[in-house]
Amino acid sequence: MEKQRVEWIDIFKLLGIVAIFCGHLGSETGGLHDFVFIYHVPLFFFASGIFAYQLEKLSFGQAVKKKFEQIILPYMFFVIITMVMIILTTEEDFYTYLRYGKQFVVGIRNQMYASSLWFFSCLFCMSILFDILRRILKKRILILIACIVLYFVTIFVFPNRPDMQPSWIFNVDSACHYLIYYAVGHVFHEKLIREKSTEANMEEGNTQIAMKRQIVLLLGIILLTGYAVLIYLRKDIVGQLLCQTIPGMEYVYPVIRVLLLILFNIVLAKMLVGIGKLGEIGSQTLWLCGNEFVVKKILNAVADILGFEIKIASALSAILYAIVMILVIIKLLMPIEKKLYQKFIETLRLEK
C-alpha cells in the first residue's frame, strides 16, 4: 500500500530536512542552530505519526514486516553507502572500521560515526512501540495519555535523559521520549490530511461566519509567527511567564513550545503549496536524511580539489548550504542510489 501523498505534508518534511541540515552545521550559524534544535527531530516524528493509521488493518506481524521494509532495509543500504564513504575519506585500520560498523549495528545516537542515521532505528522502534500501544489501548486519547506518561518517565525515571544522553540499543529510549509527538500526529491525522472537508464546511456556512473564521485564523498566524520570531531571538517571554506562574510548567512547557513551532512550520508549509517542486522534493526525505553524511563528504572533497574551504558563518549561509546539499542529493546521488537500492533488494530476494 502506497502512502497517501499530501503536498503540504511533503513540504512540511522538506522544511524539517532543511532545519536538520542547518542544525548539524554547528553553532556558527548563530540563533538558527539553537532555534531548529528545539523542534526539528520532533517534527519528523509528528509527520510520521500522521500516517500511523496505515497499520491499523494489518496484523502485528504484517506491521513489523512493513516497517522493517520501509525503514530498516533503507537503513542497511545507507549504512553500506556510508561505510564506503568513511573508508574513502579516512585512513584507519581494519579494526577501527569494524568498530564503526558495530556502532551502526547497535545504532545508538551520538555513538555512531555518522550519527545522522540514528533517526532510522529510532523511527522503527517508535512505530512498533506505538502500534503495540494502539492494539492494547484502542482509543486515541488513552494512547496519547500513555505516551505523555512515557515522556515523563524518560525524564524522571530513566537513568539518562534520552534527548540529551541516549544509551539504549537502536535508540529505544529516544523512541520512548519522542513518542508523544508521534502520538499527537496520529490524533490529528484526519484533520490534517482531509483539507477539503474544512473548505466545504466553510462554503456551506454563513459568509459572515466564514469571514470571522478567516480573521481569527489570520490573527492566529500573526501570533504564531511572532512567537516563532521571539524564540529565534532567544526571547521566550511566553515560556518565562508560564514557568514563573505555574508550578511544574518547566517540565510541560518544552513540549508546548515544540508543538507551537511545529504548528508554525505547518502554516509555513501550507503557504508554500504550489511553488515549484517543493512537494516533490519533500517526498524524498528518506533519501535526503540517509545521504546527509555522504553529501557533506562529497562537497568537502570538491572544495579541496578546487582549493577553497567551505565556511558556514551565518544563518543565511547555512540555509544556502543546506539547499545545495539537497540539490546534490536529488540530482546526483538519488538517481544512482535508487538503482543500486533496487539491486540491493533483489539480492536479498525480498521482491519477485
Using the predicted structure, report yes or no on whether residue 195 has a pLDDT greater than 70.
Answer: no
* Domain residue extents for the chain: 7-192+275-348, 197-271
pTM score above 0.75? yes
Beta carbons of 166 and 174 less than 8 angstroms apart: yes
pLDDT value for 284: 95
Instruction: Give the pLDDT band of residue 206 (cuts 50, 70, 90).
Output: low
pLDDT value for 4: 62
Q: Which of the pair, 211 or 131, is modelled with greater confidence?
A: 131
Q: What share of the chain is helix, strand, coil (3-state, %, to 5)?
A: 80, 0, 20
Beta carbons of 95 and 53 less than 8 angstroms apart: no
**Euclidean distance between CA atoms 16 and 23, whole angstroms:** 10
Q: What is the mean pLDDT of residues 88-117?
A: 93
What percent of the chain has pLDDT above 90? 82
Using the predicted structure, report yes or no on whether residue 208 has a pLDDT greater than 90.
Answer: no
Using the predicted structure, report yes or no on whether residue 207 has a pLDDT greater than 80.
Answer: no
How do residues 35-54 score in pLDDT, each as one tens digit?
Answer: 999 999 999 999 999 999 99
Mean pLDDT score of the chain, rounded to an integer?
A: 92
pLDDT value for 282: 96
**Euclidean distance between CA atoms 318 and 115, whole angstroms:** 19
**Euclidean distance between CA atoms 352 and 345, whole angstroms:** 10
What angle do helix axes 94-106 and 73-89 make, rounded to 10 degrees? 150
Instruction: Give the pLDDT band of residue 14 (cuts 50, 70, 90).
Output: very high
Using the predicted structure, report yes or no on whether residue 200 has a pLDDT greater than 60.
Answer: no
Residue with cell 533483489: 346
Query: Which cell is 207 given?
Result: 459568509
Please name the amino acid found at residue 295. Answer: V
Instruction: Give the pLDDT band of residue 97 (cuts 50, 70, 90).
Output: very high
The sign of the CA dihedral 302, 308, 313, 315 is negative
Residue with cell 531571538: 233
Query: Exposed, middle or buried by CB within 10 Å (0-12, 13-18, 19+), for 181?
Result: buried
How do residues 138-150 score in pLDDT, each as one tens digit?
Answer: 999 999 999 999 9
pLDDT value for 350: 54
> From the CB of residue 336, how many other CB atoms can be counted at a distance below 10 Å?
9
Beta carbons of 81 and 334 less than 8 angstroms apart: no
Enter the DSSP assignment of 107. -
Residue with cell 539553537: 34
How do residues 259-306 score in pLDDT, each as one tens digit?
Answer: 999 999 999 999 999 999 999 999 999 999 999 999 999 999 999 999
How do residues 212-260 score in pLDDT, each as one tens digit?
Answer: 778 888 898 999 999 999 999 999 999 999 999 999 999 999 999 999 9
Residue with cell 522544511: 15
What percent of the chain has pLDDT above 70? 94
Using the predicted structure, report yes or no on whether residue 198 has a pLDDT greater than 50.
Answer: no
Residue with cell 539480492: 347
Please name the amino acid found at residue 326. Answer: I
**Euclidean distance between CA atoms 160 and 157, whole angstroms:** 8
**Euclidean distance between CA atoms 122 and 221, whole angstroms:** 32
Please name the amino acid found at residue 120. Answer: F
